[in-house]
């Protein structure tokens, strides 16, 4: 566990240092995935269904706020719906207008869920969103989650019935309106999935706000079971079919994602819980304080080994004395040379011969020279 905690702190430090660049990269990846998915699934207009346009749009979205990705994705979808028929375009536009009206009134800030839900449906892990948003979102997060589900099933219906809904199809204009609206409203699988996800989100949200120990773990467990039970209930009540094995796998993946999020966001040490009570003139206050689990990163110290430190002090002292003796010898040798040069010059100038000096300052005859 300590290793994981140290890894978490390092990840947080890395994010604090390079968070701006990481967010731009994630925006680019998300936008590219959204635009490529639109081109692959409902690419009815050939001019818009080109990969280079998706890349350019993703680069633009990476430099702008996340809500711009949603707006540009809606524009792409509406253009693709226009290629099918005007009736499909108007119905799709009405759904988006209704979403944006409710979104800006109740829950501004979660617009990315409108494109994340269809994307996760295609990845076969849609149950992750209601569980995660129940942990970090609010009760009003059900609005973008439910509309994301509606958008996925609406586009799925258009893709499966494009031959009937197209402007050159067999239906007339009123018939296409009726077909499109009925295809959305009578889709029982869509309503069961939306109801299960919204109720799961609310259950997780209410439990994780309780002042109990391990509230997030309890919310994750209860939310996972609630989601699976609601979908199974929809199978019997609404007569819809969900693959049981994939449903259980999706629920387990959602629970694993919730636990990872809890480890990074809300990992507490309940063994050191403190309860404080105090009052003022108007109220009594009962405070429950639970500390977070925090570890300090181990500091890496580098010791520089100098070659001099391996010497023995005695050896170093002997080397110093040897250098001093060599220096004295060199000085004596230089002084002897200077004296010899002085003697030679003196003989040239005066024409007198002097005895050669030995190292101890005596002449060759053994007597000390007298100064001239």
Residues 45, 80: contact at Cβ < 8 Å?
Answer: yes
**What does the block give as tokens for 5?**
């905690």
| Least-confidence region, from 25-39, 94-108, 129-143 | 94-108
Residues 101, 59: contact at Cβ < 8 Å?
Answer: no
CB atoms within 10 A of CB 60: 14
198-229 per-position pLDDT tens digit: 999 999 999 999 988 889 999 999 999 999 99
User: Is residue 367 pLDDT above 90, yes or no?
Assistant: no
| Least-confidence region, from 13-27, 199-213, 303-317, 331-345 | 303-317
Residues 190-218 as b/e (b if ≥16 CB within 10 A, e otherwise) read bbbbbbbbbbbbbbbbebbeeeeeebbbe
Question: What is the structure's pLDDT at 354?
Answer: 55
User: Is residue 315 pLDDT above 80, yes or no?
Assistant: no
- The per-residue pLDDT of the chain, averaged, comes to 82
Percent of the chain whose pLDDT exceeds 90? 36
| Least-confidence region, from 16-20, 73-77, 80-84, 314-318 | 314-318
> Virtual CA dihedral for 25, 27, 28, 29, nearest 10 degrees?
90
Contacts with 19 (C-beta within 8 Å, 6 or more apart), sequence order: none
250-291 per-position pLDDT tens digit: 999 999 999 999 988 888 878 888 888 888 888 888 888 888
Question: What is the structure's pLDDT at 365?
Answer: 46
| Least-confidence region, from 30-44, 113-127, 265-279 | 265-279
pLDDT band at 58 (very low <50, low <70, confident <90, very high): very high
Question: What is the spatial distance between Cα 194 and Cα 189, in angstroms, rounded to a whole number?
Answer: 9
Q: What is residue 166's three-state secondary structure?
A: coil
User: Is residue 357 pLDDT above 90, yes or no?
Assistant: no
**What does the block give as tokens for 159?**
């893709």
User: Is residue 99 pLDDT above 70, yes or no?
Assistant: yes
- DSSP assignment of 318-343, as one string? HHHHHHHHHHHHHHHHHHHHHHHHHH
Evaluate the CA torsion angle 261, 267, 270, 276 in order and state its sign: negative
172-200 per-position pLDDT tens digit: 788 888 888 998 999 999 999 999 999 99
Q: What is the pTM of this model?
A: 0.75
294-312 per-position pLDDT tens digit: 776 666 565 655 544 544 5
Percent of the chain whose pLDDT exceeds 70? 77
CB atoms within 10 A of CB 94: 11
Question: What is the structure's pLDDT at 304?
Answer: 58
Question: What is the structure's pLDDT at 343?
Answer: 65
User: Is residue 318 pLDDT above 80, yes or no?
Assistant: no
Q: What angle do CA 260, 262, 264 make, to 5 degrees?
A: 75
CA Rg value for the chain: 42
């Amino acid at each position: 566990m300590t290793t994981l905690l140290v890894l978490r702190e390092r990840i947080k430090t890395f994010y604090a240092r390079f968070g701006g660049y990481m967010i731009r990269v994630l925006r680019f990846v998300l936008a590219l995935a959204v635009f490529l998915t639109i081109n692959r699934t409902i690419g009815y207009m050939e001019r818009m269904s080109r990969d280079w346009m998706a890349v350019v749009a993703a680069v633009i979205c990476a430099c702008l706020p996340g809500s711009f990705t949603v707006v540009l994705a809606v524009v792409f979808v509406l253009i693709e719906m226009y290629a099918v028929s005007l009736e499909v375009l108007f119905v799709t536009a009405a759904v988006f207008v209704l979403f944006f009206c409710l979104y800006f009134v109740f829950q501004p800030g979660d617009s990315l869920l409108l494109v994340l839900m269809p994307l996760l449906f295609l990845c076969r892990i849609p149950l992750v969103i209601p569980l995660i948003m129940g942990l970090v979102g609010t009760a009003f997060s059900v609005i973008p989650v439910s509309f994301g589900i509606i958008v996925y099933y609406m586009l799925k219906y258009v893709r499966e019935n494009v031959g009937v809904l197209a402007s050159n199809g067999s239906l007339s204009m009123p018939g296409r309106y009726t077909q499109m609206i009925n295809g959305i409203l009578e889709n029982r699988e869509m309503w069961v999935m939306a109801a299960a996800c919204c109720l799961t989100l609310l259950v997780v949200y209410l439990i994780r706000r309780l002042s109990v120990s391990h509230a997030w773990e309890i919310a994750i467990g209860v939310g996972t079971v609630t989601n699976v039970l609601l979908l199974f209930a929809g199978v019997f009540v609404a007569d819809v079919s969900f693959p049981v094995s994939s449903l259980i796998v999706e629920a387990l993946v959602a629970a694993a994602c919730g636990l990872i999020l809890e480890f990074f966001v809300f990992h507490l040490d309940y063994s050191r819980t403190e309860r404080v009570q105090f009052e003022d003139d108007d109220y009594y206050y009962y405070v429950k304080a639970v500390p977070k689990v925090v570890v300090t990163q181990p500091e890496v110290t580098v010791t520089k080994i100098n070659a001099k430190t391996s010497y023995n002090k005695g050896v170093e002292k002997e080397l110093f004395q040897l250098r001093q003796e060599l220096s004295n010898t060199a000085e004596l040798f230089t002084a002897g040379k200077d004296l010899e040069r002085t003697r030679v010059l003196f003989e040239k100038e005066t024409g007198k011969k002097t005895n050669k000096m030995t190292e101890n300052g005596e002449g060759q005859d053994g007597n000390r020279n007298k100064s001239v």
